[in-house]
Structure 1
Amino acid sequence: MSVSSTAPQGISNRLVALMALCCALAVSTIYYHQPLLPQIAASFGLAPTQAGLVATLTQLGYAAGLLLIVPLADCRQPRRLALLAIAANSVALIICAAAPSFTLLCMSSLVVGVTAITAQIIIPALSGLATPAERGRIVGSLLSGLSAGLLLARTIGGFVGAQTGWRAVFVLASLIDVLLLLVVARSLPTTTGLTAISYARLMRSLVSLVREERVLRYCAASGLMMFAAFSALWASLAALLAQSPYGFDSATIGLFGLVALLGIAASPRIGALADRLGARAMVLAGTITLAAGFAFVAAGSQSLGWIIVGMLLLDFGNRAGLVANQARVFTLRPEARSRLNTLFMGSYFLGGAVGAALGNYGVHRAGWIGLAAVGALLALGATVINALSPRESSSTLAGARP
């Protein structure tokens, strides 16, 4: 039962920019470790690919947090929920920094993932304030913030880790959480359209949404496959670049995150294009771009130039799919946006965990070629799923169902 509701009235560009910053700071905590995996492995006497378990568990934790915590934003004040999650995330990062064993590091990394979900509370909250005509653009802007956080984490994580060690990076991430706490407390708008429902009923309603919303099922499945392909590269890239013929250190590996700058700048335009052309067409373009990117990744042992071109294509392809799919999901049920976001993004980051595991397996079996084969197959799977998804009606494309 809804206790109140409000019609979308639009939001200011300043608020969108500030919340995009919060999304960046929130999501960065699950990516700081990626360029540091070879360094982490060496400190515990492990092979570089074994440290990939940290990346896998962090992504699994994020998916669990989306499933177990984010739905509460439909019946609890999102700002309060976000503040609690940020505080817990800061503590988990400190435990990572002090972890005396690889086992404890893995366990605390899982908790980091579970509590790093503030961005997924912010995005549906602001989407509910947006008008239908601007929803794709605003979602694209907020996702630009997510991508900026990914870039920030990998670049800063690699640089700081090379200078002071990987433990200092986790301490820095915890301090950044304190800044995020202050910004969210002051700036995230209060939500008035909350639903009076128990936690048990809330969880059961997730099953009902999956059963009743066909579009959600297809968007979640294609999103899982696309992010799995994208994560296959990033979860194994550090191990490959640390080996012959490159032998890069963590600072240099972190600089590869700068490739995402072009995609970040393009995200609002991708969202606006999805508003005009439809999500289905944008997702198809994204899956094809992903597959093309892995053709370049296959030649990664031959030239850095091929790697960079492949990374650019993967970034644009994944971004197109994410923006288009998420904007489409938000048109389904305005009273359940947080739960819809939970199901979509939970599936998405489950794909991240699957991709991290498969990417490391591909690298172990056949290096760059093995990684490219894994990624291309995942992109092909996403293409097939999207081809089977329902076509959008003209009313959906026009934003008639906010």
Structure 2
Amino acid sequence: MSESLPVPVGLSTRLVAVMAVCCALAVSTIYYQQPLLPQMAASFGLAPTQAGLIATLTQLGYAAGLLLVVPLADCRQPRQLALLSIAANAVALIACAAAPNFTLLCASSFVVGVTAITAQIIIPALSGLATPAERGRVVGTLLSGLSAGLLLSRTIGGWLGAHSDWRAVFILASLMDLVLLVIVARRFPTLTSRSPISYGTLLRSLGLLVRKERVLRCSAMIGFLIFAAYSALWATLAALLVQPPYRFDSATIGMFGLIALLGIVASPRIGGVADRLGASTMVLASTIAVAVSFAFVAAGGQSLGWLMVGMILLDFGNRAALVANQTRLFNLRPEARSRLNTVFMAAYFLGGAGGAALGNYGVHRAGWAGLATVGALLALGATAINALSPREAITTVARLKRP
């Protein structure tokens, strides 16, 4: 059966900006917790590092949502799918706030991750409406919103945690979901041309895409490793900073999220550079930046200045790799953008879950040095995979065959 695909007509700057705000609000719900993990562990009589399980399960839930929910946007109305996901996320956040024990908190955190995937519905949908010449800029702007969500959630979560109970943070996050619900209902474009694919066929096609698209395989592996390195730091930072010599409270730890501000401003420009220079060059630079960043992180136990330099490099490296990889994936198959994004982002956030676990292991074994070793090895692995990626992927022309 033939498909009718949305014709790229360009997007207004205002609409892209509004949807970037939606991406920020959507993704923030899985990051409010990170500066609060020691406080959450203490409320259940656990050690700070044990709360790392919450971060790991949330990332795993996000990966599950990407695999099981986001592909539906290729055959269902993305706007309706986004609204259902937001409503379910709000309920899951209330369940976290009301959790009477650590086990139920972990279970609720997993569901928060599963339902926090609205940004991953918005990004491929809008990229399909963008012209090829502006696609990198549009993706970069939407990812700026995504990054702003990370920044604001960590900063606000840390500040509120220091001035109230951690449960209040989850209640606030649920209220923010209501704001997101209104914005998406009013502004998210309705896309009427969807592929008539059954859910089972849709899920099976993910494996076919992985098998047929070498660019997808390489990008997914790189995304897995780079975000694992990124998450290794952020999932363990609070546990390290509450210890000597710093002994920071959750509000101070949350302020470290402001370091990402420079990268957020730069994301649209990163997308433009990826359009001009090609993804392979951008990814190479980003993986090297991430590897070098952990040399500075290793010194973070003695120097706050070196830690901040390392975090800035890490943020830029992660951001550049994400923008470059997604831009080239969205040029592969117009009729399967949501599924391509599903495979890539599922690998990306599985990397986040694995990185959180590996980071906790490294910190448990050797503190700052253990964390730095884990992060650097992950980044070097991504550099090696990028070297094996097909160079022709830089200028890949959209292919219209079905998986």
TM-score normalised according to structure 1 size: 0.98
> 1:202: which partner in 2?
202
1:282-297 pair list within 5 angstroms: 282-297=282-297
Distance of 2:226 and 2:127 partners within structure 1: 23
Residue in structure 2 matched with residue 318 of structure 1 by the alignment: 318
Q: Does 2:176 match 1:176?
A: yes
Q: How far apart, in 2, do the equivalents of 1:347 and 1:53 lie?
A: 19
CA offsets, 1:233-274, max 9 Å, x none?
Answer: 000000000111100010000000000000000000100000
Per-residue CA shift, 1:151-170, capped at 9, x if unaligned? Answer: 01000000011111100000
Q: Give the Cα–Cα distance (whole angstroms) in 2 for the partners of residues 126 and 6 of structure 1.
A: 10
**Alignment correspondent of 2:191:** 191
Per-residue CA shift, 1:130-169, capped at 9, x if unaligned? 0001001100000000000000100000001111110000
Q: Deviations over 1:77-107 (max 9, x none)?
A: 0000000000000000000001000000000
- Whether the 8 Å CA contact 1:227–1:348 is kept in 2: the answer is yes
User: C-alpha distance in 2, partners of 1:370/1:98?
Assistant: 35
Matches within 5 A, 1:45-194: 45-194=45-194
Cα displacement string for residues 289-342 of structure 1 (whole angstroms, at most 9, x for unaligned residues): 001100000001111101100000000000010000011111110000000000
State the partner residue of 1:224: 224
Q: Matches of 2:225 and 2:363 in 1, distance apart? A: 18
Confirm or deny: 8 A CA contact 1:79 1:189 kept in the other structure. Answer: yes
Q: CA deviation at 1:6?
A: 2.7
1:400, CA displacement in angstroms? 6.1
Across the two proteins, how many residue pairs are aligned to each other?
A: 400
Q: Give the Cα separation in 2 of the matches to 1:336 and 1:401.
A: 10
Q: Tell me the equivalent position of 1:386.
A: 386
| 1:2 CA displacement | 4.8
Find the residue that maps to 2:196 and give its secondary structure: coil
Residue of structure 2 in register with 1:36 after alignment: 36
* Structure 2 alignment gaps of length 5 or more: none
Aligned mates of 2:270, 2:227 — CA distance in 1: 17
Task: Tell me which residue corresponds to 1:214.
Answer: 214
Shift of 1:191: 1.1
**Separation in 2, partners of 1:341, 1:393:** 16
Quote the residue 2:371 is aligned against. Answer: 371
CA deviation after TM superposition for structure 1 residue 16, in Å: 0.4
AA in 2 matched with 1:134: E
Code of the aligned partner of 2:107: M
Q: Determine the C-alpha separation between the residues in 2 that align with 1:281 and 1:101.
A: 48
Deviation at 1:68, TM superposition (A): 0.1
How far did 1:392 drift?
A: 2.6
* C-alpha distance in 2 between matches for 1:27 and 1:58: 11
Identity value in percent: 77
| Residues 206-355 of structure 1: pairs in structure 2 closer than 5 A | 206-355=206-355
Contact 2:328–2:393 (CA<8 Å) still a contact in 1? no
Q: Amino acid of the residue matched to residue 188 of structure 2?
A: L
> Do the aligned partners of 1:132 and 1:401 also contact (CA within 8 Å) in 2?
no
Partner-residue secondary structure (3-state), 2:391: coil
1:17-41 CA-partner distances (Å, limit 9, x unpaired):
0000000000000000000001001
Q: Distance in 1 between matches of 2:388 and 2:333?
A: 22
Q: Which amino acid counterpart does residue 270 of structure 1 have in structure 2? A: I
Deviation at 1:394, TM superposition (A): 6.8
| 1:316-375 alpha-carbon deviations (Å, 9 max, x no partner) | 000010000011111110000000000000000000000000001000000000000000
2:280/2:394 contact within 8 Å kept? no
Distance 1:393 1:218, change over 3 A: closer
Contact 2:136 2:275 in 1 (8 A): yes
Using the alignment, how far apart are the partners of 1:391 and 1:177 within structure 2?
Answer: 41
Question: 1:20-66: per-residue Cα shift (whole Å, max 9, x none)?
Answer: 00000000000000000010011001010000000000000000000
C-alpha contact 1:158 1:251 (8 A) present in aligned 2? yes
> What displacement does 1:193 show?
2.6
The answer to whether the 8 A contact 1:5-1:192 is kept is: no
Contact map agreement 2:215 2:393 (CA 8 A) in 1: no
2-side partners of 1:349 and 1:220: how far apart? 10
**Distance (whole Å) between structure 2 residues aligned to residue 113 and residue 278 of structure 1:** 32
Instruction: Answer whether contact 1:278 1:392 (CA < 8 A) is retained.
Output: no
Q: Contact (CA 8 Å) 1:287, 1:379: kept in 2 or not?
A: yes
For residue 295 of structure 1, give the secondary structure of its aligned residue in structure 2: helix
- The question of whether the paired residues in 2 share the 8 Å contact of 1:279 and 1:325 is answered with yes
State how far apart, in whole Å, the 2-side matches of 1:4 and 1:339 are: 17
